């Protein structure tokens, strides 16, 4: 069953404090920009200090995920006050966004990586570098390897064969 975007769903993925603070931000007009995509919403939400935070909320399977470039640091699978404000803003305005289809197909890590979009691959690389900062020295090589489309790798192999 897909997630229905309503207030109850937003509340289910946020702590009481985040809900209260998010509703306050919304009531204070802190959502200054909101854009709905087919599977997510993004926008700018002013913090209590007046600084604008970039916020992104997506439905994945049966969960909401969020990213915020503000000072908040919610636990995985939880919404911060900015994400709550943006989500409730969109719910109130009837903006449409829906769940990303869940793909339960088992794949090898290489197949899974090949199935990702460039943005998805970049997100994987960002998470890898967050988890393994010692790899920053090789980040350029990692980026080329991870972000390069398979066709480019096949073309490179073909060029190497032709050159020999």
pLDDT tens digits along 97-156? 655 555 556 777 777 777 777 677 777 777 777 888 887 777 777 666 666 655 555 556
CA distance 19 to 92: 15
Instruction: Using the predicted structure, report yes or no on whether residue 2 has a pLDDT greater than 60.
Output: no
Instruction: Using the predicted structure, report yes or no on whether residue 88 has a pLDDT greater than 90.
Output: yes
Query: How would residue 1 be classed by pLDDT, with cut points 50, 70 and 90?
Result: very low
Query: Minimal CA–CA distance to 82: which of 64, 98, 65, 70?
Result: 70
Instruction: Give per-residue pLDDT as tens, 36-72.
Output: 876 788 899 998 788 899 999 887 777 788 889 888 8
More confident residue, 91 or 150: 91
């Amino acid at each position: 069953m897909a997630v229905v975007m309503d207030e109850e769903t937003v509340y289910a993925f946020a702590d009481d404090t985040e809900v209260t603070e998010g509703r306050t931000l919304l009531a204070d007009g802190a959502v200054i920009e909101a854009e709905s995509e087919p599977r997510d919403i993004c926008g700018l939400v002013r913090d209590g200090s007046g600084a604008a935070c970039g916020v992104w909320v997506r439905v994945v399977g049966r969960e909401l995920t969020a990213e915020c470039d503000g000072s908040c640091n919610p636990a995985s699978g939880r919404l911060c006050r900015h994400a709550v404000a943006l989500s409730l803003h969109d719910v109130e305005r009837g903006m449409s966004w829906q769940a990303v289809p869940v793909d339960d197909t088992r794949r090898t890590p290489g197949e899974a990586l090949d199935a990702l979009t460039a943005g998805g691959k970049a997100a994987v690389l960002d998470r890898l570098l967050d988890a393994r900062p010692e790899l920053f020295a090789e980040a350029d090589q990692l980026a080329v390897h991870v972000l390069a489309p398979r066709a480019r790798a096949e073309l490179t192999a073909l060029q190497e064969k032709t050159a020999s």
